[in-house]
Amino acid sequence: MIRKIGVEALKSIKNIQVECSKLNLLVGTNSSGKSSFLQSILLVAQNTVEEEGLNGSLVSLGEFREVRNYSMPRKAIKIRMWGEEKDEADWIAFEESETGEYEIQSSMGNEIWPEQFEELDAWDFGCLPTAGMGFYYLSCHRIGVQDIYEKNMKKSGNFGIDGEYALAYLLKNENEPVPDELVKETEKYTNNLLGQVNYWLNNIVETELTISDLKKTNYLQVKYNNNPANSSQESLYCRPVNVGSGISYLISIIIVCLASEKESVILIENPEIHLHPKAQSRLCQFLYFVSQSGRQLFVETHSDHIFNGLRVGVATHEIPMEDLSVNFFSLNENYETINNPIVFGEYGKITGKNKDADLDDLFDQFEIDTDRMLGL
């Protein structure tokens, strides 16, 4: 597990360090540095096996001069990560060269780009996450409602950063058993992937799905049933366009998490897309459940319902605060990113650890609007 991440000179981030835990929540206003912090993890993951630079399979940021922090004297972006059992950090740096381009350096020297990738284990790279080896990323551009979905004819086990192949993975592996630590034992739902996906779909949005191969085509079809009590009645199953669109954005999150290996690192942007507040709150339970199974999650969100769902979990002693890392990003007067780690206390009380940063704009819009309506 990644214990701490340090980022230097990336866009609005001058120099921050974030203490990590099993479930890591990133919150804050638009353009405050949340996405930049997530992108630092993606930059590391796409440069451990192959030297993809700033523009690769996980993230494309443009030219070096567009993303470096100009308030730093050194023309370099550096990302450091500390594992659980090491005092020294593993790191990758992108440093501007005399030609105006950039060079990539790392704590592991030239060995970070091995010739024989197939022979290596993910942890040969220390605690640095590695694309394609226990590392998963679902962007905010996740694929939504479609009549039919494309099969993955390219690479087995690749879900796509937009979740475009998640349903293809489910079609191919629906009868495969889910790892024991991720199984919810029930009488109705089996322990295979399809059964456990339907358990969580029912739990979060009160629906189930069926999936079918459109033979002799490159496509598959999904149907949803909003009456799981009668799941055997085929006439109750509808095309995705005829159920809430939030379900289509949610499904890839459930599939990827349940298909992931132990010690995986999973990044999810805006899991709340198109979901009702009740479903967002229930989604918290799923994310926390996955984080307790040996997977580490980094979740960026604008949802006060996800934020408050975790608050409730801590207040009711269902979630230990030490299993969470909640970080509020904002900009100071110099438009530089500052991070204020949040602690949930008794009765959900919110405390910021960074005494140099306030908590303005931390999901307080409801109170602001209420005060205005009451004339306060």
* Co-location of 157 and 249 in the same domain: yes
* Co-location of 8 and 117 in the same domain: yes
Confirm whether 38 is domain-assigned. Answer: yes
What pLDDT, on a 0 to 100 scale, did the predictor assign at position 60?
96
Confirm whether 278 is domain-assigned. Answer: no
Confirm whether 268 is domain-assigned. Answer: no
Residue where one domain finishes, among candidates 244, 259, 274: 259
Q: Which amino acid is at 80?
A: R
* Co-location of 230 and 321 in the same domain: no
Confirm whether 229 is domain-assigned. Answer: yes
* Co-location of 194 and 110 in the same domain: no
Bridge partners of residue 343, in order along the sequence? 351
Confirm whether 271 is domain-assigned. Answer: no
Confirm whether 253 is domain-assigned. Answer: yes
Residue where one domain finishes, among candidates 208, 243, 259: 259
Task: Please answer whether residues 31 and 50 qualify as being in contact, where contact means their C-beta atoms are separated by less than 8 angstroms.
Answer: no
Residue 356, phi then psi, degrees to nearest 5 = -90, 0
Domain containing residue 376: CATH number? 3.40.50
Confirm whether 267 is domain-assigned. Answer: no
Q: Buried b / exposed e across 97-130, counting CB within 10 Å, b at 16+?
A: eeeeebebbbbbeeebebeeeeeeebebbbbbbb
* Co-location of 5 and 128 in the same domain: yes
* Co-location of 305 and 372 in the same domain: yes
* Co-location of 31 and 110 in the same domain: yes
Q: DSSP for 84-108, please give it.
A: TT-SSPEEEEEEE-TTSSEEEEETT
pLDDT digits (tens, 9 = 90+) for 216-273: 999 999 999 988 776 666 667 899 999 989 999 999 999 999 999 999 999 999 999 9
Burial of 132 (0-12, 13-18, 19+ CB in 10 A): middle
Nearest to 48 by CA among 115, 105, 135, 129: 129
Contacts 24+ apart (CB under 8 A), 161-164: 161/57, 161/58, 161/137, 162/138, 163/138, 163/251, 163/252, 163/253, 163/255, 163/256
* Co-location of 83 and 160 in the same domain: no
Distance CA 34, CA 326 (A): 12
* Co-location of 223 and 297 in the same domain: no
What pLDDT, on a 0 to 100 scale, did the predictor assign at position 336?
94
* Co-location of 121 and 86 in the same domain: yes
What pLDDT, on a 0 to 100 scale, did the predictor assign at position 123?
43
Q: Which two tokens stand for residue 75?
A: 């023309």
Domain with 361, as residue range(s), is 1-134+284-376
Report which secondary-structure segment, H or E, holds 1. none
What pLDDT, on a 0 to 100 scale, did the predictor assign at position 364?
84
Residue 322, phi then psi, degrees to nearest 5 = -70, -15
- Sheet strands (E) in 173-323: 208-214, 219-225, 237-238, 265-269, 296-300
Query: What's the domain count of the chain?
Result: 2
DSSP three-state, residue 363: coil
* Co-location of 120 and 145 in the same domain: no
Dihedral of CA atoms 257, 262, 265, 271 in degrees, nearest 10, equals 20
What are the residue ranges in the chain where pLDDT is below 50?
111-114, 116-117, 120, 122-123
Confirm whether 90 is domain-assigned. Answer: yes
* Co-location of 190 and 97 in the same domain: no
